Amino acid sequence: MDKKLVKAFNDQIKNELYSAYIYLSMAAYFEAENLSGFGQWMKTQAKEETGHAMKLFAHLIDRGARVELQAIPQPETKFSSAVEVFEKTLAHEKKVTAMINALYELTGKENDYPASILLQWFITEQVEEENTADSILQNLKKIKPDSSAMLMYDQVMGKRE
């Protein structure tokens, strides 16, 4: 693999692990707010993001490239509401989509077809990630934070596996 592409993949591994870290921070917020269903949803999301990092990790290893893990910044830890959390979730997923798109563009410039094929999976995944975050956000905007509907939605969110 081209050195620029290896560096970009290593950067994206860090970005995916940072995403997991963000979602764990959000899970901690929800747990502190006694919204364990939302907390469970975020913990599952964190595991999914770690899985994304490992797909990139495995690709580098399979291609004989060196994985170089990087420092992960501390995520935000204070949130004011579930709506704010999911506004930030959607914004973050849009940012990740832009990073994946830029990485895909680089694979095209480098004529790295195996990396392009791998990233097509990520592109499809990001459509789902943004759609899911937006759907949850729109639902949260319809209910009052202190209502029984919020507690019911918390139970629904906790069913994610």
Unique residue bearing structure tokens 């899970």? 27
What one-character-per-residue DSSP string does 46-82 give? Answer: HHHHHHHHHHHHHHHHHTTPPP-----PPPP---S-H
DSSP state of 76: P
- Please write the tens of the pLDDT for every residue from 52-94: 999 999 999 999 999 999 999 999 999 999 999 999 999 999 9
- Residue 103: which domain range? 3-69+78-157
For the chain, what is the domain count? 1
For residues 36 and 32, give the distance between their C-alpha atoms in angstroms, rounded to a whole number. 9
Residue 18's CATH number = 1.20.1260.10
For residues 123 and 140, give the distance between their C-alpha atoms in angstroms, rounded to a whole number. 26
Which pTM value belongs to this model? 0.95
Q: What does the H/E/C string look like for 110-121? A: CCCHHHHHHHHH
- Please write the tens of the pLDDT for every residue from 8-63: 999 999 999 999 999 999 999 999 999 999 999 999 999 999 999 999 999 999 99
